Chain A
C-alpha cells in the first residue's frame, strides 16, 4: 500500500456520483419545504401524483385502501379508484398554565389549522390525479413520539373518478366507506365534504374545586361538567357552520375525539403546599356533510339473510379499528 494514494478515475467517479445524489436529495428537500410553507405538497408527493395521472388507463396500477367489497361496489356505481391520497401536517402546540377556565383560542386555532392543512394537502393530491372525490378518508391525530408538544394530523383516503367524465376542480372529501357512499347515492344524496370542529378548553382548579375533589360526599362536579359541555358545544357549532357553508343539509357519521391533558402544579396556600392539577380538554369532531336532492327516493327495505362473513376475520386489521379514530401515542 503506497503512502500516498492517488484517486483512481473510478473512485473519483463514485465520489462525484455520491455527491451529486446528496445534492439532488438536498435540493428535493429544500423545494419540498418551500412547497409545504406555501401550503402545498412536497416534491415526492407531486411526482407520485403526476406519475399516477400520466399512467392512467393501464400503465400504472391504481392503489386503494378500499377492501375488495368496496372496490366491487364502487365499480358497480360507476366509480373507479385512482390512487391513495394523503395529507399530513405536524404542528407545535405551546402549553402554558392559566389561572381561569375558558377556551384556549390559540390552541384551538392551531389544532384547526393542522387538520385543515392535512385535508387541503390530501385534496391537492386528489386534484393532481384528476379525481371527482375522495372516499374512505381516515383522519388521525397522532402524538409524535419524540415530543409532547407536537401533534401530527394525517389524512389518508382513496381518490376516485368516473371514467370519461371531467375531473372536478374541487373534489369532495368524505370518510364514507364505499358501502355507505353507494347507499347514499342510491338514496339520492351526495357527500358535500368533510367538516371538522374543535375546541381546546382550559379547566382551572381553584381552591374550592380542590376541596370538592377531596370530599367524601358524592356530588356532581358542576364546573367540570360545564366545561365539557362548553367545549362540545363550541366544537359542534363550528362543525355545523362549516357544513352550512358547503350548502349541506346534515352531517353523518360524526366521530368524536376527546383528550384530557393533566397539568400538575404545586400550590402554596399560606403555610402549606398542595399538589393540584388543572386540565386541558381537547375536543375534536368530524364527519361528512351531505346534500340530498329534494324529493329523493327512500332507500329500499332490506332483505333478511344469514351471512357467511366471519364476525372476526383472519387479519387483525379490524382489531385496531377502535384506536384508529382516537389519539395515537
Chain B
C-alpha cells in the first residue's frame, strides 16, 4: 500500500509508518498497545489493528497577568492548553491517515513537563489505528479518522449496541480564582461559612469546560458523549490558577439494529 499524502510528519514517523503499512514485497505488520483481550475483541468487531500512532507537541505556554482580586478565565492559557492538545491530536490523526486507518482506539492524552523549561509542556496523544476488514469506511462525517479513548472492550460493546465512536471531544478552561482581601479574611476568622466567591469561580470554570466539550460534540453531529470526565490540574501556575479539562468520546448511531441480549448475572472466574 502506498502512503496517501506525505503530510508534514517527521521523517522517522513516515519511515515507521511505511514499515508498518508493508508493501514492496513486505507483509504489513503492526504494533499496538492493545492487550490480548482487547486485540481479540477489536478483531471480533470486524476491525484490524494497523499500528500505534502518536502525536506530540512541545508547547511554550505564554504568560498572562491575572487580576489579583478577580475571578476570571485566563484566556491566553486556555487557548494554549487547547491548541497544544489539538496539535497533538491532529498529528496523531495524520499518522492514522497515512496508514489508511478508519479510526484510532484507546487514545490517551497526556501532558508532561520537563526540567529544561518552566513554561514548556509536552502534549502527547497515543492510540492504536484500526481499519474495518470489510473495507467499509467508518470515518467521521468530515472524512477524518474517528478517535476514541475507549478500550477494546468498550469499543466492541458500543458497536454491539448500535453506536460508533466519532471523536474524542474536550473542553478546557484555565481559571484564576480571586484572592480575598485581608478585610474579608479577617471577617472569616473562626467562622464556618460558605465562600460563595470561591464556589462561583470553581463552579463556573467546570461549567465552561463542560459547555465547550458539548459544543465540540454538537459540531460533530454526535448523539452523545460517553465516559466523560472532569480533570483538574495546575501546571505550575500557582495555586489560584487551575485548569479544568472535560474529556469524553462523542458517539453516533450506526443505523444497524443493536445486537443485544439481556444482560446475565455472571460470576467471573478470573482472579
Contacts and interface: CB of A to CB of B under 8 A. Distances in A.
Interface of A: 25, 29, 32-33, 36-37, 41-42, 44-45, 47-48, 51-52, 58-69, 71-73, 75-76, 81, 83-84, 86, 88-94, 96, 106-107, 109-110, 113-114, 117, 121, 144-146, 149-150, 152, 154, 156, 182-183, 299-311, 313-317
A206 to B, nearest CB: 24
B204 to A, nearest CB: 5
B40 to A, nearest CB: 7
Contacts of A309: 37, 153, 268, 270
The CB with the most chain B CB atoms within 10 A, among A68, A94, A307, A316, is that of A68
27 contacts: A32-B200, A33-B196, A42-B204, A44-B204, A45-B207, A63-B225, A68-B155, A68-B161, A68-B227, A72-B160, A84-B210, A88-B206, A89-B194, A91-B195, A92-B188, A94-B188, A94-B192, A110-B192, A114-B194, A150-B195, A150-B198, A152-B198, A302-B266, A308-B41, A310-B35, A314-B34, A315-B149
Given A306-B268, A307-B270, A314-B33, A33 B192 contact: no
B224 interface: yes
A90 B264 contact: no
Contact of B214 (A60, A88, A110): A60
B83 interface: no
Contacts of A316: 108
Contacts of B106: 314-315
A317 B37 CA distance: 18
B223 interface: yes
B257 interface: no
Nearest to A36: B196
Interface of B: 33-35, 37-38, 40-41, 71-72, 106, 108, 149-151, 153-155, 157-158, 160-161, 177, 179, 188-200, 202-204, 206-208, 210-211, 213-214, 217-218, 222-230, 234, 239-240, 242, 248, 250, 260, 262-270
Contacts of B151: 310, 313-315
B266 A33 contact: no
Contacts of B37: 308-310
A61 B223 contact: yes
B269 A304 contact: yes
Contact of B266 (A36, A41, A84, A307): A307
Nearest to A310: B35
Contact of A90 (B41, B150, B194): B194
B267 A37 contact: no
Contacts of B72: 25
Nearest to A301: B265
Main secondary structure of the interface of B (DSSP, over half): mixed
Contacts of A44: 203-204, 207-208, 211
A63 B38 contact: no
Main secondary structure of the interface of A (DSSP, over half): mixed
A183 to B, nearest CB: 8
B217 A66 contact: no
A42 B207 contact: yes
B244 to A, nearest CB: 11
A63 B210 contact: yes
Nearest to B216: A61
A274 to B, nearest CB: 26
The CB with the most chain A CB atoms within 10 A, among B34, B193, B199, B269, is that of B199
Nearest to A68: B154
A93 B214 CA distance: 35
B226 A68 contact: yes
Contacts of A89: 194, 199
B125 to A, nearest CB: 13
Contact of A61 (B149, B194, B250): B250
A314 B265 contact: no
Contact of A304 (B160, B194, B213, B267): B267
B188 A86 contact: no
Nearest to B269: A306
The CB with the most chain A CB atoms within 10 A, among B71, B72, B206, is that of B206
B243 to A, nearest CB: 12
